[in-house]
Amino acid sequence: MPRYAEDHERYDDSNRAFLQAFMARSTMTFSEAKPVLAAIFSVRDEEQVSPEDITEDDLQTYIAAANSAISPFDLEIRSILPQIEINNNDPNAPPPPAPERVYALVNTTSDALTQLATTYSADEIAFVKRILDAMFDTYNTRRQEAMVISSMQALQLAKAGAGDANRRESGTQQQQATQGGAAQSLTMTQAETMLKQLLEQGWFEKSRKGYYRLSPRGLMELRGWLVAAYNDEGIRKIKFCAACRDIITAGQRCGDRDCTGRLHDHCMRNFFRMQKSESCPVCKSAWPGDRFVGERAITMSDPAAQRARRSAANAQQAEAGPSTQFTLPEMDVEDEVDGGEEEAGSD
Ligand SMILES: [Zn+2]
Ligand SMILES: [Zn+2]
């Protein structure tokens, strides 16, 4: 029962204040919205309203009003549940805390990279694009759907041409890239600064283990673009959770690598309860529970496989000699060949 809903036939100063507060930050959760709305209501009602009095319905009412006001400007407040990774396979462990929904103001027409172009240079955008290619293509393979990159890998992409960018540019990006000729490399310092800014502005997140990944905001803004850039007929690099239908970049996968069954950690419990069996939502085979997508595809992969990879990498290094630049020992790039089929049609 929204206490204040009845007042909201029209868009007033309180709605404007809410939208302003929203625009002043890149994202907002219900907990963060409580003091904001309490302050707004206190002014409007000329009496002290406590943050504890704010309900989820109040927030929804204000978001709905804001959305009608901003839709003519191709803006929309959208939300996503952060993908909480549960690094614990103990079946008796207490259920993890429910993740708190994150709201963000998203441009509904232009892709997020186009928006970044108002702040960053073409070369900087090309660097971001190389990072996205690394996350969603190079390190998102059939064998290992990591969708994260280490700081070292990110910095190696400062060099234009590294990881190679230009094959699947969106239309706008292509224009920008060709307008000023090929993208130039960034210096290490420029790349470091850029990464820092992307973290501060809430596009990327850095995990405790030092991997960069797209933040909830980044995912909301880039969802459409990612699908357009990395999915094609028969190729589905960007996958969706079978329970909540939202994009999945951290969660669990079916035991069959060719099956598209994916579930967020926070969606799994309820989903299996409703389905009444712990089986893959797509192919119905038993759900393994220890096959991951996201960072854990690297950090929690089968130890035997990891050992084998490491010794193979060491052997290669030994053969090549110490001076040779080794690349990305942690990552499994052996089935990079399956990226080949996507390169068709580079107009
Ligand atoms: Zn889900
Ligand atoms: Zn399956």
Among residues 22, 46, 73, the one where a domain terminates is 73
**Residue 190, in any domain of the structure:** yes
Q: Which of 152, 151, 158, 153 is nearest to 126 (CA)?
A: 158
**Residue 100, in any domain of the structure:** no
CB-based contacts of 294, cutoff 8 Å, min separation 6: 83, 85, 145, 146, 147, 148, 213, 249, 250, 251
Do 17 and 137 belong together in one domain? no
**Residue 47, in any domain of the structure:** yes
Q: Which of 238, 210, 186, 198 is nearest to 295 (CA)?
A: 210
Q: What is the ipTM of this complex?
A: 0.99
- Pairwise pLDDT comparison (268 vs 107), residue with the higher score: 268
One-letter identity of residue 105: L
Taking the CA atoms of residue 63, residue 242, residue 238 and residue 265 in that order, the dihedral angle to the nearest 10 degrees is 80
The protein residues having their C-beta less than 5 angstroms from ligand 2 (an ion) are: 254, 259, 261, 280, 282-283
Query: Would you state the structure tokens that stand for residue 311, as one six-digit string?
Result: 């010794």
169 pLDDT above the threshold of 80: no
Do 240 and 155 belong together in one domain? yes
Do 182 and 243 belong together in one domain? yes
Q: Which of 91-95, 124-128, 148-152 has the lowest mean pLDDT?
A: 91-95
CA of 305 to the centre of ligand 2 (A): 21
pLDDT in tens, 31-89: 999 999 999 999 999 999 999 999 999 999 999 999 999 999 889 999 998 887 766 55
Do 39 and 144 belong together in one domain? no
Q: Which of 43, 56, 48 is nearest to 3 (CA)?
A: 56
Do 275 and 219 belong together in one domain? yes
Supply the pLDDT for residue 329.
43
Do 129 and 45 belong together in one domain? no
Ligand nearest to the CA of 241: 1
Among residues 20, 43, 73, the one where a domain terminates is 73
Separation CA 128–CA 195 (nearest Å): 9
Q: 141 lies in which domain range?
A: 113-303
CA of 339 to the centre of ligand 2 (A): 22
The enclosing domain of 171 has a CATH number of 1.10.10.10
CA of 244 to the centre of ligand 1 (A): 4
How many separate domains does the chain show?
Answer: 2
pLDDT in tens, 278-319: 999 999 999 999 999 999 999 986 665 556 556 666 665 555
Q: According to DSSP H, which parts of the chain are helical?
A: 13-23, 30-45, 56-70, 112-116, 122-133, 151-156, 171-179, 188-200, 216-230, 265-275, 296-299, 303-320
Do 197 and 126 belong together in one domain? yes
CA of 118 to the centre of ligand 1 (A): 33
Do 131 and 223 belong together in one domain? yes
Do 123 and 9 belong together in one domain? no
The protein residues having their C-beta less than 5 angstroms from ligand 1 (an ion) are: 241, 243-244, 264, 267
Please tell me whether residue 52 adopts helix, strand or coil conformation. helix
CA of 302 to the centre of ligand 1 (A): 24
Supply the pLDDT for residue 94.
66
Do 158 and 274 belong together in one domain? yes
